[in-house]
């Protein structure tokens, strides 16, 4: 078995957890066999004193098919 790792950024206007889920959901449309996620960082955009976007940097692991 071979596992490949890619790095993506999930974005949400709700919260960090939603940013993770939306990133994984979107990636799974084109990447098959995702079996792990490693959150490596979180940032947010602020506008007029309020958080407007949540960004999560993450690595996704998936099994490479033969």
Per-residue pLDDT tens over the stretch 33-43: 999 999 999 99
The model's pLDDT over 14-23, given as tens digits with 9 standing for 90+, comes to: 999 999 999 9
CB 56 within 8 A of CB 23: yes
**8 A C-beta contact, residue 33 and residue 62:** yes
pTM for this predicted structure: 0.89
Split at pLDDT 50, 70, 90, the class of 65 is confident
Higher pLDDT, 65 or 2: 2
Domains assigned to the chain: 3-63 (3.30.1660.10)
pLDDT at 34: 96
Print burial letters for 51-65: b (CB count within 10 Å at least 16), e (below 16): eeebbbbbebebeee
| First-to-last C-alpha distance (Å) of the chain | 9
pLDDT at 66: 75
């Amino acid at each position: 078995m071979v596992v490949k790792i890619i790095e993506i950024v999930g974005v949400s206007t709700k919260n960090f957890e939603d940013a993770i889920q939306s990133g994984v959901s979107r990636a799974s449309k084109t990447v098959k066999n995702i079996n792990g996620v490693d959150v490596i960082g979180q940032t947010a955009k602020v506008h007029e004193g309020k958080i407007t976007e949540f960004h999560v940097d993450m690595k996704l692991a998936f099994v490479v098919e033969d």
